[in-house]
């Protein structure tokens, strides 16, 4: 199946490592021009160099998406360098953690506000595209109780309702909005490798909840994102695609 991604311009936040990196690798392999960011300047430079080798245009920036002005300036620069934007994937998260009020604010600013600010800032470009597509990265932590009442889980839940309502609001502009909700994803340097070394019990219990006995991979999430981002998914908007190896137990109606 041709996804129709060739020549599309995709901006993905938090894309030097993990799931975000797998998304930009796959989108570039499918022929998309890429805008990527992270906080580490060196890692951005490495990612830009690696992706350019695929023969697509790549624009990278070292920016903390929590800094509203710097983030918006980076989005503007990226749009200028790519000549527009067809696909936006807000992927950065402040991550889980136990929960001071300070952490709630951080999770709100990073997970929720960077997504909302990005969608608003890129709206004119996505409308111009004629095939605009936003894919928000959620988490199964928003769908079922997980571990503890964390800001992370609540912010991911907020993104789900934002995604659905935005999809209704901007459907007339030919912009689709969907969420991909990954279950636990294991990769070198990722959160689950860290949890394995610091909380073996939690790691093992999580693994046990996966019917096929393994964690998901960033590449598997990237394939779900690439499909939803692509014109091949033209009928799908307002959806939440749970990509979790069967980790969650609820029935999805």
**Interface contacts to ligand NAP, rule CB under 6 A:** 14-20, 37-40, 43, 64-66, 91-93, 110, 137, 139, 182, 184-185, 190-192
How many Cα atoms sit within 13 Å of 158 on the Cβ side? 18
Backbone torsions φ then ψ of 222, nearest 5 degrees: -60, -40
User: Smallest distance, Å, CB 236 to ligand NAP?
Assistant: 20
Cβ atoms within 10 Å of 72's Cβ, excluding its own: 16
Nearest approach in angstroms of CB 153 to ligand NAP is 10
Q: Which is nearer to ligand NAP, 32 or 44 (CB)?
A: 44
Minimum Å gap between C-beta 6 and ligand NAP is 25
186 given a catalytic annotation:
no
Between 127 and 147, name the residue whose CB sits nearer to ligand NAP: 147
User: How far, in Å, are 28, 78, 137 from residue 59 at the CA level?
Assistant: 12, 6, 21
28 vs 110 by CB, closer to ligand NAP: 110
User: Which of 39/72 has CB closer to ligand NAP?
Assistant: 39
156-179 burial: b if 16+ Cβ within 10 Å, else e: bebbbebbbebbeebeeebbbbbb
Q: Quote the least distance from Cβ 26 to ligand NAP, whole Å.
A: 14
The three-point CA angle 42-59-174 to 5° equals 135
Catalytic residue, from 147, 152, 162, 253: name it: 152
Q: E-strand spans in 141-214?
A: 175-182
Q: Which is nearer to ligand NAP, 115 or 237 (CB)?
A: 115
- Alpha-carbon torsion angle 35, 45, 105, 77, nearest 10: -40
Query: Who contacts 170 (Cβ-Cβ below 8 Å, separation ≥6)?
Result: 123, 126, 127, 132, 177
Token digits of residue 142: 């928003």
In angstroms, give the least distance from the CB of 200 to ligand NAP.
16
Give the whole-angstrom CA distance, residue 213 versus residue 51: 32
Catalytic residues: 152
């Amino acid at each position: 199946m041709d996804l129709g991604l060739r020549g599309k311009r995709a901006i993905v936040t938090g894309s030097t490592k993990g799931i975000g990196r797998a998304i930009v690798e796959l989108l570039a392999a499918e022929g998309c021009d890429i805008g990527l960011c992270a906080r580490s300047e060196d890692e951005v430079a490495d990612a830009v160099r690696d992706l350019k080798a695929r023969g697509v245009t790549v624009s990278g920036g070292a920016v903390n998406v929590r800094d509203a002005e710097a983030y918006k300036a980076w989005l503007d620069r990226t749009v200028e360098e790519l000549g527009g934007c067809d696909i936006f994937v807000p992927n950065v998260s402040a991550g889980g953690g136990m929960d001071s009020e300070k952490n709630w604010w951080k999770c709100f600013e990073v997970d929720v506000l960077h997504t909302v600010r990005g969608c608003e800032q890129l709206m004119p470009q996505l409308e111009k595209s004629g095939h605009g597509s936003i894919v928000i990265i959620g988490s199964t932590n928003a769908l079922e109780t997980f571990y503890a009442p964390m800001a992370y889980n609540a912010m991911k839940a907020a993104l789900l309702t934002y995604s659905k309502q935005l999809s209704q609001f901007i459907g007339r502009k030919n912009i689709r909005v969907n969420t991909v909700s990954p279950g636990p994803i294991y990769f070198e340097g990722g959160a689950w490798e860290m949890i394995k070394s610091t909380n073996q019990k939690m790691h093992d219990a999580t693994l046990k909840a996966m019917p096929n006995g393994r964690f998901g991979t960033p590449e598997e999430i990237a394939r779900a994102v690439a499909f939803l981002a692509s014109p091949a998914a033209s009928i799908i908007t307002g959806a939440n695609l749970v990509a979790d190896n069967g980790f969650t137990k609820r029935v999805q109606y």
